[in-house]
Structure 1
Amino acid sequence: MTAGKDGTDSLNSYTPFMLQKWLKDIVIRIFTGEGMPELTGGIRILEEGETPLDSHCLYIGDHELIEKAFSLGRFPGSPIMIISAGSCKAFTEDNVPRQLRLVETSLPVIPLYNRVQESVHRYLEWEKLVRDSFFEDDGLKKILDASLPMFNATLLLCSSWYKTLAASCHPDVNDIYSKEIKEMGHFSHESIQKLSGRETENGGLLVHTELLPPDSENHMIIRRICFKGEIYARLFVILKDKTPDSCISDLTEVLGNYLSEFMYGHHGVDFGGNPELRTFVSDLIEFRLTDKKELDERVGVLNLSITKYYHLIVISVPEDPVIKGVPYNYLINQIKQIFPYSDISTYMGDILVLVPKKSYEAAITFDREAFETLLDKHDAHAAISNYSRFLTSLPTIYHQTKLTLRLGMKMSPDERIYIYEDYSMYHMIEMADKGSQALTFNRNIIYLCHPGLIALMNHDRKTGGNLTEVMYIYLRNERNSALAAKKLFIHRNTMLNKVHRIEEILGETLDDPRLRERLLFSYHVIEYTTKYRNEDVMALRKNTDIRDCRKQS
């Protein structure tokens, strides 16, 4: 319990409807008043005096003192809630102050105060259990289990496509929707059609809906968990009978807020995955899992989607300024819709997706537009590895894919998805670069280039020409002069003249396949230096200190 004003106990997120239900066995009469008191200032016993009452506090007092406080003008103009010991006979529906929510009870003041405090304590204990669950594995399930006694109703949390994320079922609730979840783990298509209904109003999402579904005798509350304008989970609260309950409605709102905080928070627990998978992935990458027998045993326990071959996708997501963290749980939920048969985990701040495929020649297939849209929305980037058959290759595959992310984000910042093969040449160049630095203490890798390419670059700088680019496009298109000319927007004859001039400067013919390989490799060296390092390869830097090399690379 937190301290409120003047050391009183804060009600946190209590609402009048909750208090009215908790005290229903002692309630005589209720005047609802106009507006809803905030109840953030604590619980106070009403005392004699002329001091104005605080609208943020919940007051408990003798009925005569309440009537006297009204006659002295102590009531504020904003909504206020008072629980009375005894009935205030001076008030009727016609003359009760419009701002007053008055709950008349049959208990004396002190027993009434104690009863309210017991209810407050029980609520706060529930809140503590919910928050403690944030930092546990299987946190969603623990949150719902902790909430079951408070709600006394069935609680179902489903993904945006109505698949169960967690459930806590009350034994006395036996409606058809709970039964579907228990038996199938998701709602049927027919049930989805009945429950989805209208989810938007005036261009915005309806967060809270209440209904009596068809073929059901149980009132249902649907609380949608949204993030950045999209539904990514739904909380279903199914009551024991068809009667609406304002207390449960308010509790649902509180629980929905906690679930939202957990699910798009960054507490290190992804609701879409499992702790065993996270440990398994980290043990593999960090070489703590090398024994084949142990590997096979753990794979059997995990029941991975991978049957033969797999690709690794590494997704890098920056911190969201709104929640001051990475919304891992939300993103994993969305990624599962794009890669439904994959295994997803987190490692060192990144999201890792193991995507299975049945044969090595099969291409990895996914909705690229949806994936790019998701990445763009969160300023995230993804790299996709080559396929592998062996999980023991994961450390190598992981580091190659991470390197692809690093190179791609620097060299092609406008793209969102990077394929390892598109950057594998730069990977080799970087390894050659590091080896060269270790041997020569020189960070300039112009020495990896064919002299002919350097001659072409010097010619272009002197003349303002583009022979270096022409050579690359020509070679990339298998020396098809017509196709290369089309890509350069020049006439084929002009293209042939430029190729002739290139061969003159090289002093060799481009018919030599080894020369073509060297020239293409050299061109990639120039790209790596200019796009990744942001350096001019022609500006020679001899005898660079190796410590400075490592700092800049």
Structure 2
Amino acid sequence: MLIPLNVLLYQLSANSIYESQNIDLTGNFDNVQLFDQEQLNAEFGDELYLVSDQVLLNALSRTPEDQFPSRCVFLCICQDEKLHTSDFHPNLSMVLLYTDESFPLVFNRILKIFHDFDIWDKNFHLMLIQQKSLQDLLNLSKDFLVHPMVVLDRNYSILGYLRDPNVSDPIMESILSAGYVTPQIMERLRQDGLISTSEQAENPLISWYSLTTHDCYYSMMYRFKTNGHTVGYALIFHCAVHPRTNYLYLMNIVAENLQLFFQQKRFSNRSSSDIYESVFNDILEHPDAPQQQYADQLSYIPDLPMNGRFMLAVIHYPDEQELPFSFVSWNLRTSIPQLKPFVYQNTLYILKNNSENESFATFLTPEEQTIFQKNFRNRYFECGISNTFFSLMDLPTAAAQAREALAIGTSKTEGGAPTFHYFSDVYMLYILQELKKAGVDKMAASPCYEVLRQYDETHNGDLCYIFMQFLKNGRNVNQTSTAIFQHRNTVLNKVKKAVSIMQNECEDYQSRIAFMLSYLNDPNR
């Protein structure tokens, strides 16, 4: 693994004292070589060579300037504080490191640093392949992380953190206590300059903040992006000195690897979406989480309250590769602002906020439906729509209703024009389906229906059908007549005949439900 020279110096000692000349300390090296003055005539590459001050001075004194290697970089170990880089050739690329430790000890420590970074990098990538959590990755990196640190997703929920047993930062502890960044904590983070959601802010953003009159510290914020969109943040607290140069580059190495975590499919799938999408996904995945947490996250999203009047739809259509969900989602939210499409478990859902509409039970007006269909480029699609619900915490129930509406609705229709299936229209079929699953559908059988069915079977009649339509139309003869295209008197006479056979008018709700369930459960109807 390539390590910047200034990170190597920092790992040797956080307070390393050194002088340098003709060298960029951010230059990367993957190993260190021992300098052998007997091989001066050999070819030296762009490598880092470890040498003692006296060995280097002796080599310089015995070698003409034009023959001394100029491409390599020397890390010179020095115990004489009176020696300076000015005592060496001015064209030499070198770092003069002052230390009381012996040369062999420094050499072994440097080898261990390279080894530890290499093992860490390999294990980090292996854990990424294994889809480990970010907390696992931070635990793996704890030997390199000096200060308290918390990593957030773009909804400011905690993905992972590391504490310092010797340091307790009250701002970080407040985040850990809440489990996410509440609006109150966010206000303080912004006031103190610890976080910035602006895409123009420096990355990393280094700021200072005060805990008390005498306790002032520096902080660092890293912003992680995928596909040009911010998907996460890392906050480092309680830096006693400005995290410049050496420590900064160490944190940059860790941040570069953490960036790989956010580039995984589980984040890149969300990176081109609106911020509300990940909140919806979290509600569906963790419906038992505290409502206040989601309410606080929604407070960062304009025009999307926790409570209101909502409907949810699920969409199925062919050729998803040719018409990607991301393309459809962008077009829908642009053309109909009240719609908030999102993808969950590789399925396209659409939330409709009807809080400001007079009709809270209408998913799409006729005008919106025309626009809606155009976004699918005149492709055939099926749409299942939930009942109206009044809190986004009920999103899991609404999603289940939409899926059931789609499944039951598509089983009753043939492909053709785009179709909208409302859960309210298949509610009785859903109840019957669940009764069958529980094996108790016969418990709800209606004797009235069975009597009428036997009469129809004997006389080749349609009284069951007529009476079912009569119940579906609110026991209104005129509406029933219009719905089934039969004369009013014909419908009225058949209803009276059915009542006389059943000896029951099904006026109470229990008799109606039992009759309707039995009718829907009849395989021969």
> TM-score, structure 2 length as denominator?
0.51
Cα 1:167–1:24 change in 2 (3 A) is closer
Closer, same or farther in 2 for the Cα pair 1:314/1:67, shift >3 Å?
farther
Q: d(CA) in 1 for partners of 2:218 and 2:17?
A: 26
SS at match of 1:42: coil
Q: 2-side partners of 1:245 and 1:313: how far apart? A: 51
Indicate conservation of the 8 Å contact 1:63/1:84, yes or no: yes
Q: Secondary structure at the match of 1:195?
A: coil
Alignment-mate amino acid for residue 8 of structure 2: L
2:59 corresponds to 1:58: no
- Matched ranges for 1:35-434 at <5 A: 35-36=24-25, 38-48=27-37, 49-50=39-40, 51-55=42-46, 57-70=47-60, 72=63, 73=65, 80-84=73-77, 86-87=79-80, 91-93=84-86, 97=90, 99-136=93-130, 139-160=133-154, 162-184=156-178, 185-186=180-181, 187-195=185-193, 206-215=202-211, 217-244=216-243, 246-266=245-265, 311=312, 347=345, 350=346, 361=360, 385-387=384-386, 421=420
What letter corresponds to residue 264 of structure 2 in structure 1? G
CA offsets, 1:195-222, max 9 Å, x none? 267787xx96522222212446222122
Q: Which has the larger radius of gyration?
A: 2
Q: 1:224 to 1:242 in 2, by over 3 A?
A: same
The question of whether the paired residues in 1 share the 8 Å contact of 2:135 and 2:160 is answered with: yes
Instruction: Tell me how far 1:129 sits from its aligned partner.
Output: 3.9
Change over 3 Å in CA distance of 1:268–1:208 after alignment to 2: closer
Q: Displacement of 1:93 after TM fit?
A: 4.3
Matches of 1:170 and 1:317, distance apart in 2: 48
CA shift in 2, pair 1:123/1:346, >3 Å: farther
How far apart, in 1, do the equivalents of 2:104 and 2:203 lie?
40
User: Contact 1:63/1:88 (CA < 8 Å) preserved in 2?
Assistant: no
Q: 1:189 to 1:27 in 2, by over 3 A?
A: closer
- The CA deviation at 1:242 is 3.6
Residue 268 of structure 1: CA displacement? 8.6
CA–CA distance in 2 between the matches of 1:190 and 1:363?
A: 42
Partner SS state of residue 149, structure 1: coil
Query: Aligned partner of 2:34: which letter?
Result: I
Question: TM-score w.r.t. structure 1 length?
Answer: 0.49
Distance 1:300 1:86 in 2: 62
Q: Which moved more, 1:218-227 or 1:390-399?
A: 390-399
- In the alignment, the residues of structure 1 paired with residue 233 and residue 21 of structure 2 have an alpha-carbon distance, to the nearest angstrom, of 31
Distance 1:26 1:161 in 2: 37
Give the Cα separation in 1 of the matches to 2:15 and 2:195.
39
Cα distance change of structure 1 residues 190 and 26 upon mapping to structure 2, 3 Å threshold: closer
In the aligned structure 2, how far is the partner of 1:60 from the partner of 1:420? 74
Once residues 83 and 400 of structure 1 are traced to their aligned partners in structure 2, the CA distance between those partners, rounded to angstroms, is 77
> What SS class does the counterpart of residue 265 from structure 2 fall into?
coil
Q: Which amino acid aligns with 2:246?
A: C
Q: Percent identity?
A: 12
Instruction: Report if aligned partners of 1:135, 1:267 keep a CA contact under 8 Å in 2.
Output: no
Deviation at 1:178, TM superposition (A): 0.8
Shift of 1:343: 12
Kept after mapping to 2: 8 A contact 1:208/1:221: yes
Among 11, 19, 27, the alignment partner of 1:22 is 11
Aligned mates of 1:153, 1:136 — CA distance in 2: 27
What SS is found at the alignment partner of 1:219? strand
- Please state how far the C-alpha of 1:80 moved relative to its aligned partner: 2.6
Cα 1:194–1:205 change in 2 (3 A) is closer
Within 1, Cα distance between the matches of 2:290 and 2:157? 20
Shift of 1:390: 6.8
TM superposition shift of 1:362: 5.1
- How many Å separate the matches in 2 of 1:108 and 1:390? 70
CA shift, 1:243, in A, is: 4.5
Q: Secondary structure at the match of 2:230?
A: strand
For residue 178 of structure 1, give the secondary structure of its aligned residue in structure 2. helix
The 3 A distance-change label for structure 1 pair 217 and 300 is closer
Question: How has the CA–CA distance of structure 1 residues 351 and 234 changed in structure 2, closer, same or farther, with 3 Å as cutoff?
Answer: farther
Residues 261-306 of structure 1: per-residue CA shift (max 9 Å, x gap)? 22122269989999xx99x99xxxxxxxxxxxxxxxx976999989
Change (3 A) 1:226 1:269: closer
The superposition leaves residues 316-352 of structure 1 with CA deviations (integer Å, 9 ceiling, x where unpaired) of 9979xxxxxx99xxx9xxx9xxx9xx998753xx366
Q: Which amino acid aligns with 2:186?
A: S
Shift of 1:46: 0.9
Distance 1:157 1:92 in 2: 42
* Alpha-carbon spacing, 1:194–1:124, altered in 2? closer, same or farther (3 Å): same
Q: Is the 8 A contact 2:193 2:208 kept in 1?
A: no
Q: Distance in 1 between matches of 2:401 and 2:194?
A: 44
RMSD over equivalenced CA pairs, Å: 5.6
Contact 2:223/2:230 (<8 A) preserved? yes
Q: Any gaps of 5 or more consecutive residues in structure 2?
A: 295-305, 365-374, 376-380, 388-396, 422-481, 486-525
Q: Which amino acid aligns with 2:56?
A: I
**Partners of 1:119 and 1:400 in 2: how far apart?**
63
Aligned AA (1:53): F
Distance change (3 Å), C-alpha of 1:397 and 1:258: farther
The DSSP-based 3-state class of the residue aligned with 2:28 is coil
Deviation at 1:259, TM superposition (A): 2.0
CA contact (8 A) 1:156 1:168 kept: yes
* Corresponding residue pairs, total: 350
- Per the TM alignment, residue 141 of structure 1 is displaced from its structure 2 partner at its CA by 1.8
Offset of residue 161 of structure 1: 5.5
Query: 1:393-448 CA distances to partner (integer Å, 9 max, x unpaired)?
Result: 6765677999xxxx99xx9xxxxxxx9639xxxxxxxxxxxxxxxxxxxxxxxxxx
Classify the secondary structure of the residue corresponding to 1:171. Answer: coil
Gaps of 5+ in 1: 1-11, 282-297, 320-325, 366-375, 377-381, 412-418, 423-511, 516-553
Q: What is the distance in 1 between the residues matched to 2:383 and 2:251?
A: 40
Contact kept, 8 Å, 2:169 with 2:238, in 1: the verdict is no
Deviations 1:130-177 (A, max 9, x none): 323324566122222322332121111224464433322223332342
